[in-house]
Amino acid sequence: MSSSPPQPEGEILPPLEAEVQRAAAPGYAPAPPRRTRSILSAPGTYLLVGINCAVYLWMVLHGVDPANPTPVQLIHFGANVPALVLHGQWYRLLSATFVHVGLIHLLTNMWCLWNLGLLGEPLLGPWGMVAVYMLTGIAGNLLSLGVNVVMRDFISVGAGASGAVFGIAGILIVLLSNHKLPIPAFELQRLRKSVIQFAGLNLVIGLATIALPIIRIDNSAHVGGFLFGLALGVPLVPRMTSGRVRYLQRQKITFAGAAFFLALFGYWIANLR
């Protein structure tokens, strides 16, 4: 269309580019956003959900109680244990994000991951979503490891995707603060408010369970994942609408720097003993 403004190098993802084109058309009125359920609309999110479900099924098929796995079983399938991590099994910081303590634990985390993923993947891209899940999940488990080392607790078993879920919520809070996105301001505000409410409510619930010995929630992993997600979002905001190429370059630099920081943090924790 000849009346369309010059297009930038490319927006974050095609859905946002299409929104810009529609906004330039005469008589445009923003329509309520629709959440597409096609697997092609959020492949990174569905990949992560699929891996989590596959690991759970694998555990059950190998004799693990579907509702109440034992600590030994969780450890066997990759749960996070300070003593083992500090003796070289650092992979547990990641593998633990795909191991769940029963069906209810899995379903709760996958419901949150699915909803946040469908919202966040258009802003991050599929590989960006996977990277944020992994980095914030590791960050949460690293903070939990550090707290356990300070408390001289080397046998606590940690598992679940909740640290990564909080990390995705954290980065979304930052990314949705960018008013240059081709999304109506009122919709941005509504989405951001809903993510903040989700994170705040679940953090409060987690802290409230400290007084309940029958419920064991790793609040350190939640807080670590959430704060790291917030930090990851800060350098991405300025490049979100500067073109796809520049935005993806900023993502690579940010995620590489984040991985290097986590490695240094892990090295520091290892020397706390």
Q: Which amino acid, 110?
A: M
Calculate mean pLDDT across residues 30-57. 79
In a domain, 90, yes or no: yes
Structure tokens belonging to residue 123: 């802003």
User: What integer is the mean pLDDT of 229-240?
Assistant: 95
CATH of the domain at 123: 1.20.1540.10
* Residue 21 belongs to some domain of the structure: no
Q: Is residue 28 domain-resident? A: no
Asked if pLDDT for residue 22 goes beyond 60, the answer is no
At 209, is the pLDDT very low, low, confident or very high (cuts 50, 70, 90)? Answer: low
Q: Could you tell me the two tokens for 66?
A: 């579907």
**Is there a domain that residue 116 lies in?**
yes
pLDDT at 15: 47
CA–CA separation, 128 vs 252, rounded Å?
9
- Average of per-residue pLDDT across 189-194: 91
Please report which confidence band the pLDDT of residue 248 belongs to, taking 50, 70 and 90 as the band edges: very high
Concatenate the DSSP letters of all residues of 229-268 into one string.
Answer: HHHHHTTTGGGTTS-HHHHHHHHHHHHHHHHHHHHHHHHH
pLDDT of 118 above 60? yes
- Over 60: is that where the pLDDT of 214 sits? no
Residue 202: predicted pLDDT:
84
Contact by Cβ (8 Å): 135, 228: yes
With tokens 């064991």, the residue in question is 216
Residues with catalytic function: 162, 222
In a domain, 30, yes or no: no
* pLDDT greater at residue 222 or residue 10: 222
Cα 118 to Cα 188: distance, rounded to the nearest angstrom: 15
Other CB atoms closer than 10 Å to residue 97's CB: what's the count?
33
pLDDT class of 85 with cuts at 50, 70, 90: very high
Residue 210 DSSP one-character state: G
Q: Residue 213 — pLDDT band, cuts 50, 70, 90?
A: low
Rounded average pLDDT over 68-94: 96
Domain count, the chain: 1
Q: What's the pLDDT band for 14 if we cut at 50, 70, 90? A: very low
Residue 93 has pLDDT above 60, yes or no: yes
Average pLDDT over residues 101-114: 95
pLDDT at 190 exceeding the cut of 60: yes
- Domain assignment of residue 142, given as a range: 43-270
In a domain? residue 24: no
Q: Is pLDDT of 147 > 80?
A: yes
pLDDT on residue 108: 93
In a domain, 16, yes or no: no
The answer to whether residues 149 and 70 touch, using CB atoms and an 8 Å cutoff, is no
* Percent of residues, the chain, with pLDDT higher than 70: 82
* Residue 7 domain flag: no
Q: How would residue 257 be classed by pLDDT, with cut points 50, 70 and 90?
A: very high
Is the predicted pLDDT of residue 28 greater than 50, yes or no? no
Mean pLDDT of the chain: 86
* pLDDT value, residue 179: 86
Note the pLDDT of residue 32: 44
Burial pattern 4-25, b for ≥16 Cβ within 10 A else e, equals eeeeeebbbbeebbebbeeeee
Q: How confident is the model at residue 37 (pLDDT cuts 50, 70, 90)?
A: low
